[in-house]
Amino acid sequence: MKKIRIGVIGLGGRGLGLLKDAILPRENVEVIALSDLYPDRMEEAAKAVQEVSGISPELHRDYHEILKMESVDAVVIPAAWEAHIPIAVDAMRAGKIVGCEVGGAYSVQDCWELVKTYEETGTPCMMMENCCYGREELMALNMVRKGVLGTVVHCQGGYHHDLRAEVSFGRENRHYRLRNYMNRNCENYPTHELGPIAKILNINRGNQMLSLTSTASRAAGLNEFLKREKGEDYDITNYPFAQGDVVTTVIKCAHGETIVLTLDTTLPRFYSRGFEIRGTKGMYTEDTRSIFLDGVHNKYDFDWKPMWNNVEEYRKDFEHPIWRRNLEEGVRGGHGGMDWLEFDAFFTAIEQNLPMPVDVYDMAAWMAITPLSEQAIATGAPQAIPDFTNGRWTMREEEPCWHFGLANVCEE
Amino acid sequence: MKKIRIGVIGLGGRGLGLLKDAILPRENVEVIALSDLYPDRMEEAAKAVQEVSGISPELHRDYHEILKMESVDAVVIPAAWEAHIPIAVDAMRAGKIVGCEVGGAYSVQDCWELVKTYEETGTPCMMMENCCYGREELMALNMVRKGVLGTVVHCQGGYHHDLRAEVSFGRENRHYRLRNYMNRNCENYPTHELGPIAKILNINRGNQMLSLTSTASRAAGLNEFLKREKGEDYDITNYPFAQGDVVTTVIKCAHGETIVLTLDTTLPRFYSRGFEIRGTKGMYTEDTRSIFLDGVHNKYDFDWKPMWNNVEEYRKDFEHPIWRRNLEEGVRGGHGGMDWLEFDAFFTAIEQNLPMPVDVYDMAAWMAITPLSEQAIATGAPQAIPDFTNGRWTMREEEPCWHFGLANVCEE
């Protein structure tokens, strides 16, 4: 069987991690090219490739050289946020299948270009949103599809992750977040947890995000952190960071559902994706790892504590088939197994010529939240969310069982 | 010592409960008048008054008769939402001190009238927001005042309470909620948890709420509930309720803080006020009853479960003095003691001629969120929040120690 030959463009922390944990261990994939602006990153990655596979990948500072390689079937793009869409567009034009890491867009126009390029070229493009493959998110999806939570009316989620060190020391770490936090104020990282929520709400397949409001708090977290870590005299300790500490974006959907999305990365806290699904028959909530089912749990209405962590009792009935298999086979890769599963889906779709489970319409709609949030914060006015399917969302069917690229599991 | 002689206007479930649990047991208060539109309610309440105090209160269907009684010092108003401001205004004009139950306003104009009437008459008026006296809320306030959470940047709270039965059976229960849910779509009950948050953020005393967005989800919860409980043929089973199931309101304050306020009363779930305070040094979060302090809890960043319920460890250091005394003396009254404490504050302020701890400016600002949310949902546009202090918020000092009407405790 022919192996999938790929290039990896962007070899910072995320790129190197994915390479080692989610790509190189695969027997059906060969990494034959690497690109990064920094030679040391390329060399470190090349060493890893060689050690595992014996292959010496081509190294190119300019990713266009990789796109010119006839032997390359697909590219994976864990680059800086600013580079995602330009590289994805160039790759589609070069006929290279795209697996693009997450992040927000910088303009709605870029999202359109992504879609139009896909429609012109037909080159498959997947957004690698690993949280779509999270165990909790997939279990909630499974419960929704089985009707256990009733009609879904409201969803919440966010990226609650203390990144003060990563952002503040962005120069030492060569990290793109610093320049973004210095200059922009927006929901800069929407796809955790919009991705899994959009799948639950059938966005682009019978449903659509129509409009949003977005409100940013003041920025205080980074300055106080830098003062403590580096002192009053450090050059950016008193820098007026543009990015608010907490950004709350509220999205309204075509069938009246609401989504509350939160960016929360520069204040002290524990990690959470704040995932919550509210239906007419029940709810799933991540922070207490609990499920409320109407008619079952009402006696705990005023003392929910005994039900904290009750999600474990429901694994038996509602564990998603993808995760059932994953646990049987042994969880692999980073981020608790999500990274492995998303790349499973990506490579399975390539091998079997299936539609991408997170396609270019999803990618455009989710990434557009960033510039729209930026506009909403800047102007104070709600923003309309474009329909990147150009009306086809009313006709596109709900995603079939092989949706996550693992048809055999779903058919069990 | 002269007793405070009061009338109680509104004797539904809340009025009767307050009377029995938070008012009648007091030695310094005499209930000498009662009013309600329903005679049976007045009679039941009168019986309770007589049993406890031996007094036969005057009963008046028309509350104006109570306002004419020279012997009445103050009135407590646990009436229907629509009646709160009109009765409060009439009472202030009649020189009767007002303790008014919570709820939203129906117009911003009404909030202005409340303020202007107070300014003309000088009659004290307190909003009886019991959650300001919640144990968790006061502990968080205490931590904020002590600087433990750093600069407060973002707060959340809401009224997460499954009221499907109360609303749906509002005719049988003679409850005002039903007509509101049938006809209006807004944040109809903002003061849990805006009250405690506004106190933490010093709203009206050096800070101000500037603007809000408000987004309502579809309404599905009541129809599905009625279908299950009463069947398809029941007269309001398929009624097109105006009130969305979940309403998310995002408020921006003068110093850049954001407040996310949620109304969530017609879907199945456990009770919560979703209280969360986010500062540059730490957070308090109600749902897992936990406190995160920077430099202390960071090692639990990716597994917060062991810290669930850790709030108990901090009682020793941060229990609010009001609650310390309350626990020593024995918790009394409804809603876990909050009702008792708020009436303590109210009657103490009357006796000692102190400013009301939740005054008419707080009341107007908090109640105005309802019509402003209604306007925001109806028009899709953000709304400016009026400054009911007319600029004096920049001069009014932070509330002093006797803020909650319990000076001796605070001074300890």
The residue-averaged pLDDT of B199-215 equals: 96
Residue B154 and residue A246: Cβ atoms within 8 Å?
Answer: yes
Cβ-based neighbours of A186, under 8 Å, separated by 6 or more: A104, A214, A216, A243, A247, A370, A371, A373, A374, A377
3-class SS at B268? Answer: coil
Total beta-carbon pairs less than 8 A apart between chain A and chain B: 168
Residue B218 and residue A294: Cβ atoms within 8 Å?
Answer: no
Q: Do residues B241 and B209 make contact, with C-beta atoms less than 8 angstroms apart?
A: no
Cβ-based neighbours of B306, under 8 Å, separated by 6 or more: B300
Looking at residue B184, its amino acid is R
The bridge status of strand A152-160 relative to strand A258-264 is: parallel
Q: Which residues in chain A are closer than 8 Å to B225, comparing Cβ atoms?
A: 280
Q: Which residues in chain B are closer than 8 Å to A241, comparing Cβ atoms?
A: none
Confidence of residue B406 (pLDDT cuts 50, 70, 90): very low
Confidence of residue B335 (pLDDT cuts 50, 70, 90): confident
**How close does chain B come to A356, measured CA to CA in Å?**
30
A400 burial type by CB count under 10 A (0-12 exposed, 13-18 middle, 19+ buried): exposed
Share of chain B above pLDDT 70, in %: 96
Tokens of B154: 């973002």
For residue range A353-380, what is the model confidence (pLDDT) as tens digits? 988 999 999 999 999 999 999 999 999 9
Q: Which residues in chain B are closer than 8 Å to A220, comparing Cβ atoms?
A: 150-151, 153, 280
Name residue, tokens 């708020």: B342
Residue A268 and residue B224: Cβ atoms within 8 Å?
Answer: no
Per-residue pLDDT at B220 exceeds 60: yes
Residue B301 and residue A216: Cβ atoms within 8 Å?
Answer: no
pLDDT reported for residue A130? 96
Closest by CA to A250, choosing from A283, A211, A224, is A211
Provide the sign of the torsion angle of the four alpha carbons A403, A409, A411, A412, taken in this order: negative
- Measured CA to CA, the distance from residue B13 to residue A204 in angstroms comes to 47
Tokens of A121: 């070229």
Q: Which long-range contacts (CB under 8 A, 24 or more apart) does A79-85 make?
A: A79/A9, A79/A10, A79/A12, A79/A15, A80/A10, A80/A12, A80/A176, A81/A106, A81/A176, A81/A180, A81/A188, A82/A106, A82/A176, A83/A9, A83/A10, A84/A367, A85/A110, A85/A111, A85/A113, A85/A114, A85/A367
A54 burial type by CB count under 10 A (0-12 exposed, 13-18 middle, 19+ buried): exposed
pLDDT reported for residue A206? 94
Residue B268 and residue A293: Cβ atoms within 8 Å?
Answer: yes
pLDDT reported for residue A409? 46
- Measured CA to CA, the distance from residue A408 to residue A49 in angstroms comes to 30
For residue range B8-19, what is the model confidence (pLDDT) as tens digits? 999 999 999 999
**How close does chain A come to B239, measured CA to CA in Å?**
16
- Measured CA to CA, the distance from residue A17 to residue B253 in angstroms comes to 41
pLDDT reported for residue A400? 64
Between A188 and A407, whose confidence is greater?
A: A188
Among A166, A243, A258, which would you mutate to test the B interface (most chain B Cβ atoms within 10 Å of its Cβ)?
Answer: A258
Give me the residues paired with residue A250 across strands: A213, A260
Residue B300 and residue A268: Cβ atoms within 8 Å?
Answer: no
Per-residue pLDDT at A163 exceeds 80: yes
Q: Do residues A374 and A189 make contact, with C-beta atoms less than 8 angstroms apart?
A: no
Among B261, B270, B281, B298, which would you mutate to test the A interface (most chain A Cβ atoms within 10 Å of its Cβ)?
Answer: B270
3-class SS at B130? Answer: helix
- Measured CA to CA, the distance from residue A325 to residue A409 in angstroms comes to 7
Question: Largest Cα–Cα distance in chain A?
Answer: 64
The residue-averaged pLDDT of B331-357 equals: 91
From start to end of B217-275, where are the E strands? 246-253, 258-264
- Measured CA to CA, the distance from residue A333 to residue B356 in angstroms comes to 59
Per-residue pLDDT at B372 exceeds 70: yes
Per-residue pLDDT at A28 exceeds 80: yes
Closest by CA to B259, choosing from B338, B154, B183, is B154
CB atoms within 10 A of CB A329: 9
pLDDT reported for residue B336? 87
Q: What is the SS3 assignment for chain A? A: CCCEEEEEECCCHHHHHHHHHHHCCCCCEEEEEEECCCHHHHHHHHHHHHHHHCCCCEEECCHHHHHHCCCCCEEEECCCHHHHHHHHHHHHHCCCEEEECCCCCCCHHHHHHHHHHHHHHCCCEEECCHHHHCHHHHHHHHHHHCCCCCCEEEEEEEEECCCHHHHHCCCCCCCCHHHHHHHCCCCCCCHHHHHHHHHHCCECCCECEEEEEEEECCCCHHHHHHHHHHCCCCCCCCCCCCCCCEEEEEEEECCCCEEEEEEECCCCCCCECCCEEEECCEEEECCCCEEEECCCCHHHCCCCHHHCCHHHHHHHHHCCHHHHHHHHHCCCCCHHHHHHHHHHHHHHHHHHCCCCCCCHHHHHHHHHHHHHHHHHHHHCCCEECCCCCCCHHHCCCCCCHHHHCCHHHHCC
Per-residue pLDDT at A408 exceeds 70: no
Give me the residues paired with residue B31 across strands: B6
Q: Which residues in chain A are closer than 8 Å to B252, comparing Cβ atoms?
A: 215
3-class SS at B245? Answer: coil
Closest by CA to A411, choosing from A351, A350, A321, A346, is A321
Per-residue pLDDT at B407 exceeds 60: no
Give me the residues paired with residue A283 across strands: A278, A292
Question: What letter does residue B272 receive in the DSSP assignment?
Answer: B
- Measured CA to CA, the distance from residue B50 to residue B42 in angstroms comes to 12
CA dihedral B332→B338→B341→B346, nearest 10 degrees, is: -130
For residue range B22-70, what is the model confidence (pLDDT) as tens digits? 999 999 999 999 999 999 999 999 999 999 999 999 999 999 999 999 9
- Measured CA to CA, the distance from residue A341 to residue A333 in angstroms comes to 9
Question: What letter does residue B309 receive in the DSSP assignment?
Answer: T
Nearest CA in chain A to B308: A288
Tokens of A163: 């990144």
Nearest 5°: CA angle at B115, between B112 and B120? 120
The H-assigned helical ranges of B57-107 are 63-68, 84-93
The closest CB to that of A308, out of B250, B272, B308, belongs to B308
Among B258, B284, B286, B375, which would you mutate to test the A interface (most chain A Cβ atoms within 10 Å of its Cβ)?
Answer: B258
pLDDT reported for residue A399? 67
Q: Which residues in chain A are closer than 8 Å to B298, comparing Cβ atoms?
A: 162, 268
Between B409 and B355, whose confidence is greater?
A: B355
Q: Which residues in chain A are closer than 8 Å to B283, comparing Cβ atoms?
A: 267-269
For residue range A57-84, what is the model confidence (pLDDT) as tens digits? 999 999 999 999 999 999 999 999 999 9
Tell me the pLDDT of chain A averaged across its residues. Answer: 95
Question: Largest Cα–Cα distance in chain B?
Answer: 64
The residue-averaged pLDDT of A185-191 equals: 98
Residue B297 and residue A256: Cβ atoms within 8 Å?
Answer: no
Q: Which residues in chain A are closer than 8 Å to B260, comparing Cβ atoms?
A: 248, 260
pLDDT reported for residue A334? 82
Q: Which residues in chain B are closer than 8 Å to A378, comparing Cβ atoms?
A: none
The bridge status of strand B209-216 relative to strand B246-253 is: antiparallel
**How close does chain A come to B79, measured CA to CA in Å?**
25
The H-assigned helical ranges of B244-399 are 311-318, 321-329, 338-352, 360-379
**pTM recorded for the entire structure:** 0.97
The residue-averaged pLDDT of B123-149 equals: 95
Looking at residue B186, its amino acid is C
Tell me how long chain A is.
Answer: 412
Tell me the pLDDT of chain B averaged across its residues. Answer: 95
**How close does chain B come to A84, measured CA to CA in Å?**
28
3-state helix, strand, coil in chain B (%, to 5): 45, 20, 40
Q: Which residues in chain A are closer than 8 Å to B147, comparing Cβ atoms?
A: none
The closest CB to that of B280, out of A224, A250, A287, belongs to A224
For residue range B93-128, what is the model confidence (pLDDT) as tens digits? 999 999 999 999 999 999 999 999 999 999 999 999
Tokens of A15: 């790129």
Residue B280 and residue A292: Cβ atoms within 8 Å?
Answer: no
The residue-averaged pLDDT of B220-225 equals: 98
The residue-averaged pLDDT of A140-157 equals: 95
Q: Do residues A219 and A266 make contact, with C-beta atoms less than 8 angstroms apart?
A: yes
Confidence of residue B411 (pLDDT cuts 50, 70, 90): very low
Run of H or E including B410: helix B407-410
Per-residue pLDDT at B194 exceeds 90: yes
Name residue, tokens 């749902």: B287
Residue B268 and residue A288: Cβ atoms within 8 Å?
Answer: no
Residue A283 and residue B269: Cβ atoms within 8 Å?
Answer: yes
Alpha carbons within 13 angstroms on the beta-carbon side of residue B291 total 21
Alpha carbons within 13 angstroms on the beta-carbon side of residue A36 total 23
Confidence of residue B400 (pLDDT cuts 50, 70, 90): low
Among B149, B151, B153, B201, which would you mutate to test the A interface (most chain A Cβ atoms within 10 Å of its Cβ)?
Answer: B153
Q: What is the ipTM of this complex?
A: 0.96
Q: How far apart are the first and last CA of chain B?
A: 25
3-class SS at B144? Answer: helix
